[in-house]
Amino acid sequence: MAKKLKALDRLLQEGLFPEEKAARAAILAGEVYAAGQRVTGAGQLLAPDAPLHVKGQALPYVAKGGLKLEGALRDFGVDVTGRVCIDAGASTGGFTHCLVKAGAALVYAVDVGFGQLMGSLRQNPRVFNLEKTNISDEKLLSLDPPPTLGTVDLSYLSLRRGIPAFGEVLHRSGELICLVKPLFEVDDMEARRTGILPDSAYGRVLTDLIADVNALPWARAVNVTHSPVTGNTGTREFFLHVRLCPSPPAAPDLSGAVEAAVARALALSEYEKKK
């Protein structure tokens, strides 16, 4: 795991403040956040990849989903530059915005809803808005140019159903970065009602999902990580990196990665929306 850095050092390294005095003052005023959590001291140790935000400064994306995907792209080492992507469950466009800022040549923003995508993205020439569209819609099978990278943030639908549908859209070639919402991967109706899963359930959910993905003859789960930002009610979320190809290699052992991802997710505090 990469070495943690002091909050003050990270703020200065990333150019969020011109000098140390201003950075310290912002921390003392409670204006600095790391992965949605308030930074409480200049010497507080932060993960080097925790997204930083300063109250009063604009978020780097139109929605906090961009912060989530930013962490996954970094953890998985995925280079988006020049690629054609498809973002399923685009909603307001957090993932789409992240892909555009990361250098994607084109992003198909797909959502079953209508009028949700932020206006700035609607007007972006590198974004093709496909609203009122389900991931199983046949028109997605003939996209031109075809996407090679898909990002997935599905609501109320298990990835066990979403990934096979996405595999068809990508013609079983390319890669997926899937947001795993554990509550949608379990049959426990009480957990879905309350939004609460026991800590011990996360590892089991990820392990079972990985096994189901690897059972597909054209897919392999190659990595897993935590979302650096919690869900709206403090729920822990994760990302699964899936490669698609006609004859995939043997699946890697991700047991250690699952354990590490769960530990990091459980260490997070609930995301605080900035004002």
Q: Following DSSP, what letter does each residue of 102-124 receive, concatenated? A: TT-SEEEEEESSSS-S-HHHHT-
Q: Are 116 and 92 in contact (CB under 8 A)?
A: yes
Total residues found in the chain within this entry: 275
Cβ atoms within 10 Å, residue 14: 9
In this model, does residue 274 exceed pLDDT 60?
no
pLDDT score, position 226:
95
**Average pLDDT value for the chain:** 88
- Categorize the per-residue pLDDT at 275 as very low, low, confident or very high, splitting at 50, 70 and 90: very low
pLDDT for residue 20? 85
Which regions of the chain carry the CATH code 3.40.50.150? 65-266
Give the residues across from 159 on adjacent strands: none
> For 5-54, which CATH class?
alpha beta
- Tell me, what's the pLDDT at 146? 95
Which backbone phi and psi does 26 adopt, to 5 degrees? -65, -40
Cα–Cα dist 126/3, whole Å:
36
* 198-215 confidence digits (pLDDT tens): 888 899 999 999 999 999
Residue 27 and residue 45 in contact, taking contact as beta carbons nearer than 8 Å: no
Distance (Å, rounded) from C-alpha 73 to C-alpha 197?
26
Residue 41's nearest CA partner among 24, 17, 56, 54 is 24
- Can you tell me the distance from the alpha carbon of 88 to that of 74, in angstroms, rounded to the nearest whole number? 20
- Candidates 3.40.50.880, 3.40.50.10490, 3.40.1440.10, 3.40.50.150; CATH matching 65-266: 3.40.50.150
